[in-house]
């Protein structure tokens, strides 16, 4: 199958460099959404943009495209995201003789997730240009993925008919599929004590920082067990050095491959701070948010079998693994669609050292072509 298709590497290079130069940090994807809509329509997709942008505080929604292909059976859902992390304004792709593509070193490159977007576009193009039948394709290009899948979480998944999905959004060479990802919870602790002058009348104060610190000191931070972590990452409090601080707060997160275990850890954190406040006269406000929910795809699922066959058609030995990060795959699975999250040839993402390779993107395009022809 694979030898019938020819990837246009020069087209990949030009398209990737073009998209990199479009600023699209999270919640600011307007120009990217407009350009990708044009590209998808030129391939033959019907494309609609939802109203997620207005609901999540952004200037663009999710793009949902449908392309009929002539092969009977359930459609395939492909997905990537349009946004990048900071620093992401003024990006410029620099192509090196060894095939690597980097930024100029003062911004991220945006291979996370533009390498995936280009691979999806090219993979579909080469199948269409060859006149070959393919499965019906449903395509979700999400806004605001980086801040814990805000865009896809606001998408109406009742529009999706596919029973099999692939999100291209993992570092490393093409050929790896992530089948397991964690729940990620964030929480905030706010302590309200009582202000007083620290020199003249400290006994009239209730020291919010001390109370907060007592609670943090009782927590088991770091690796709680083999599948759960707990961290406090931000602390703030007080306003001047000569006053007993009235307010103090901290923010943290919990990650676990077991959703119920994550919730139990959250309750452990809450109870710890309840104890730290008891008898002090201070007030506690404890809030949390479930950012993404854990999933695990079984090896027997068709989504795994089809990925395996597509890789082997290309002479790639498939690799399966897990991640301790989140992606739009978490959201898709919660809507009852088995999903594998695939590597797409990006490296050192979320840093100014980020890079991709032309050969990786070419492999990713070939893999997409194989998946849609299964």
Location of structure tokens 């008891």: 278
User: What 3 state SS string does 138-196 have?
Assistant: EEEEECCCCCCCHHHHCCCHHHCCCCCEEEEEEECCCCEEEEEECEEEEEEEEEECECE
Q: Write down the catalytic residue from 49, 145, 146, 363.
A: 145
Give the tokens for residue 89. Answer: 């304004």
How far apart are the C-alpha atoms of 209 and 359, rounded to whole Å? Answer: 53
- In degrees and rounded to multiples of 5, residue 63 shows phi and psi of -95, 130
Is 238 in contact with 206 (CB distance < 8 Å)?
no
Concerning whether 145 is annotated as a catalytic residue, the answer is: yes
Give the tokens for residue 79. Answer: 């997905």
How far apart are the C-alpha atoms of 261 and 254, rounded to whole Å? Answer: 10
Is 187 in contact with 254 (CB distance < 8 Å)?
yes
Location of structure tokens 């946004």: 83
Q: Write down the catalytic residue from 29, 49, 50, 83.
A: 83
H helical segments located in the chain: 9-20, 30-43, 52-56, 111-129, 150-153, 208-218, 259-277, 302-313, 328-334, 358-373
Give the tokens for residue 284. Answer: 């506690």
- Measured N-to-C along each axis, helices 9-20 and 358-373 cross at an angle, to the nearest 10 degrees, of 110
Is 274 in contact with 284 (CB distance < 8 Å)?
yes
Is 70 in contact with 127 (CB distance < 8 Å)?
no
Neighbours of 191 (CB within 10 A): 30
Task: Check whether the bond before 9 is cis (ω within 30° of 0).
Answer: no
Active site residue ranges: 83, 145
């Amino acid at each position: 199958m694979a030898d019938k298709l020819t990837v246009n590497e020069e087209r990949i290079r030009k398209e990737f460099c073009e998209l990199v130069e479009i600023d699209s940090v999270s919640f600011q994807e307007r120009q990217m959404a407009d350009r990708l809509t044009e590209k998808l329509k030129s391939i033959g997709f019907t494309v609609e943009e939802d109203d997620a942008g207005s609901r999540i505080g952004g200037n663009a929604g999710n793009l949902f495209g449908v392309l009929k292909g002539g092969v009977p059976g359930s459609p395939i859902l492909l997905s990537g995201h349009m946004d990048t992390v900071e620093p992401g304004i003024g990006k410029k792709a620099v192509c090196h003789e060894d095939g690597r593509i980097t930024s100029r070193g003062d911004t991220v490159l945006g291979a996370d997730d533009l390498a995936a977007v280009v691979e999806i576009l090219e993979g579909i193009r080469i199948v269409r240009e060859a006149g070959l039948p393919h499965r019906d394709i449903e395509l979700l290009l999400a806004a605001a993925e980086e801040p814990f899948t805000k865009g896809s979480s606001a998408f109406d998944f009742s529009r999706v008919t596919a029973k099999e999905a692939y999100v291209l959004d993992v570092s490393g060479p093409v050929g790896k599929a992530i089948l397991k990802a964690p729940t990620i919870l964030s929480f905030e602790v706010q302590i309200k004590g009582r202000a007083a002058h620290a020199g003249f009348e400290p006994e009239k104060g209730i020291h919010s920082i001390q109370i907060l610190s007592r609670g943090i000191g009782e927590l088991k931070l770091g690796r709680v067990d083999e599948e759960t972590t707990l961290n406090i990452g931000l602390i703030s409090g007080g306003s001047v050095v000569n006053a007993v601080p009235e307010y103090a707060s901290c923010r943290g997160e919990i990650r676990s491959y077991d959703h119920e275990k994550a919730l139990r850890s959250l309750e452990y954190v809450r109870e710890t701070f309840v104890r730290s406040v008891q008898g002090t006269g201070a007030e506690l406000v404890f809030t949390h948010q479930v950012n993404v929910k854990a999933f695990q795809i079984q090896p027997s699922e068709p989504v795994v079998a089809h990925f395996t066959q597509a890789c082997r058609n290309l002479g790639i030995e498939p690799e399966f693994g897990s991640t301790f990060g989140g992606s739009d795959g978490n959201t898709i699975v919660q809507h009852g669609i088995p999903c594998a999250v695939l590597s797409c040839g990006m490296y050192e993402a979320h840093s100014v050292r980020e890079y991709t390779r032309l050969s990786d993107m070419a492999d990713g395009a070939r893999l997409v072509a194989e998946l849609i022809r299964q």
